[in-house]
Structure 1
Amino acid sequence: MLRTVYVNGRYVPESEASVSVFDRGFLFADGIYEVTAVLKGRLVDFEGHAARLHRSLNELNMHLSLNDNALRDIHRQLIDKNALQEGLVYLQVTRGVADRDFAYPESQTPATVVAFTQQKPIIDSPLAERGLKVISLPDMRWGRRDIKTVQLLYPSMAKMEAKKRGADDAWLVESGLVTEGSSSNAWIVDHDNTLITRELSRSLLHGITRRTVMQLAREHDMKVEERGFTIKEAQNAREAFMTSATSLVYPVVSIDQRPVGSGEPGEIARALRRLYIEASLEAMDAGQN
């Protein structure tokens, strides 16, 4: 069954969706995106994703005429039109259409805005049950990883290299420290049960799920420390896990073929995943998102 997608103000069947070959997102990866999870037909952490979208727009001097209410309405209409109960809504904004030139137009061109839904099991995820195997790779991305751009070729190559080696994903390393995963924030739990994740900077994406998990951990008297860590420290940790919008919390059970802890999903990662789902469902019952 064809999905209904959103393209520049119109809801159309996916077979009829198109953008110009002169769109700067297509020619230069001059665009940004957000992915918002959907549980029971409702958006999860939408306000955080909208705020990060505006931050990315500002950092790239890009203009979007749609306000948060309009963006929320687009998301909700797509969920309704596609009868989506669990999965995600993908939103992409590019600088728009202009003749090919490395220098983008000084006058603001109308942004290209597209959005679509995708079904995905989130609550009952097989990966959450068995845990992820990850490998380490050098972080060779551009320096502004805090901007959620559509420049995703290296993360895609990292993911494929992980699969080639019989793993699920890659953790990226720069100057000896883990920055993040190919599409997630990386965490470890030390033997004092302290949760450790890299501090925010231009080196990594400011994860919305990362922020919520951190809040939940502190609300439940878990100690959180923001700092970098090495692959060796992660391998020797009590637990490891990753966070992202559509995985929520995934335990990591091995790094570079070396088991983390018992080699099974850890108790703290499981507890944080459960807390995140419970908090999201409670917010929906309260009429949020």
Structure 2
Amino acid sequence: MGRIAYVNGQFVRHGQAVVHIEDRGYQLADAVYEVWALFGGKLADPEGHFARLERSLGELRIPMPMSREALTIVLRETVRQNRVSEGLVYLQVGRGVATRGHAFPDEPVPPSIVITVSSVDRAATEAKAAKGVKVITTPENRWGRCDIKTVGLLPNALAKQAAKERGAAEAWFVDDLGFVTEGASSNAWIVDSDGTLRTRDTNANILRGVTRHTLLDVLREEGVKVDERPFTPAEAVDAKEAFITGAGSLVLPVIAVDDKPVGDGVVGPVAMKLRRLYIERARATAI
């Protein structure tokens, strides 16, 4: 069976899925998105993703295309039709189709919605985590509302490509003060010399990572000290450990920043323990 996509009320073969040429998401990046990890065919961190979706849409004044309950049904049905157990679900909601113009349409149009599902090889991702990944740094050049999860990701794409060309898995944006803001598709963390975990607070207009939020809950339960305070690339190199979090990466150890080893340059025990604890929580609470 081939892949199936959900596009504006219809389930269609992935290769035949299309949007109108005047869809504002396509022409103006006037759209938002969410990505759920799938564990056992179920959506991980459901409340966090739905809440962030609703917030992002509200910030852009795009109405929800349907109720949360109805959307859950559609998401699950898309997963079922694709017969995917371990993977990722991508949802995009845009303002809709209208004659091209920068201002919103004078008459409201129905929001557009696209859902796709892809498989993930969990054995391969676990092997990647056990080995650790490298990151590079790049100057922060994105707009000031990175807290909204829009599809306007060109700076992120360019940063990811730069990372790929240098043999790294992620790029960390660095602001004018020299602090890491976040990754191109993840949140950034370090483990200080005293065992304190540090990650940037979301008041800095970085993305309010759902995986980040769930991991903070896990850390509170475990009694681990967390300091929501920015750090520099040099502090990351001097740290015991570093890692990134996201729906695709989950909790992924970082062993080098700009080719400089983090700590001993090997995957540390904290990141791997947190990866296990996060996955356990995500599987237990998935819907």
| TM-score tier after normalising by the smaller chain length | over 0.9
1:135-170 alpha-carbon deviations (Å, 9 max, x no partner): 110011111000000011111110111111122211
- The Cα of 1:41 is off from its aligned counterpart by 1.0
Go from structure 1 to structure 2 and tell me whether the alpha carbon gap of 1:277 and 1:124 turns closer, same or farther (over 3 Å shift): farther
Provide structure 1 residue ranges, at least 5 long, that are not aligned to the other structure: none
Which amino acid counterpart does residue 201 of structure 2 have in structure 1?
E
Which residues in structure 2 correspond to 1:141-152 (within 5 Å)?
141-152=142-153
- The Cα of 1:101 is off from its aligned counterpart by 0.6
Q: Which residue of 1 aligns with 2:208?
A: 206
Give every structure 1 segment of 4 or more consecutive aligned residues whose post-TM-superposition deviation is greater than 4 Å.
Answer: none
Give the paired residue count. Answer: 285
- The Cα of 1:281 is off from its aligned counterpart by 2.3
What TM-score, normalized by structure 1, do the two folds share? 0.96
Give yes or no for contact 1:62–1:108 (8 Å, CA) kept in 2: no
- The Cα of 1:85 is off from its aligned counterpart by 0.7
Q: Is the counterpart of residue 15 in structure 1 residue 15 in structure 2?
A: yes
1:112-156 alpha-carbon deviations (Å, 9 max, x no partner): 100010111246513212111011100111110000000111111
Q: What value does the CA root-mean-square deviation take over the aligned residues?
A: 1.2
Matched residue SS, 2:239: coil
CA distance in 2, matches of 1:160, 1:16: 28
- The Cα of 1:4 is off from its aligned counterpart by 1.0
Q: Which residue of 2 aligns with 1:153?
A: 154
What TM-score, normalized by structure 2, do the two folds share? 0.96
Q: Which residue of 2 aligns with 1:188?
A: 190
Q: Is the counterpart of residue 252 in structure 1 residue 272 in structure 2?
A: no
Which residues in structure 2 correspond to 1:101-180 (within 5 Å)?
101-122=101-122, 125=125, 126-175=127-176, 176-180=178-182
CA distance in 2, matches of 1:89, 1:11: 15
Percentage identity across aligned positions?
Answer: 48
1:189-225 alpha-carbon deviations (Å, 9 max, x no partner): 0011000000012531000000011110111110001
Which amino acid counterpart does residue 222 of structure 2 have in structure 1?
H
- The Cα of 1:236 is off from its aligned counterpart by 0.5
Q: Which residue of 2 aligns with 1:93?
A: 93
- The Cα of 1:179 is off from its aligned counterpart by 0.4
Matched residue SS, 1:201: helix
CA distance in 1, matches of 2:82, 2:240: 42
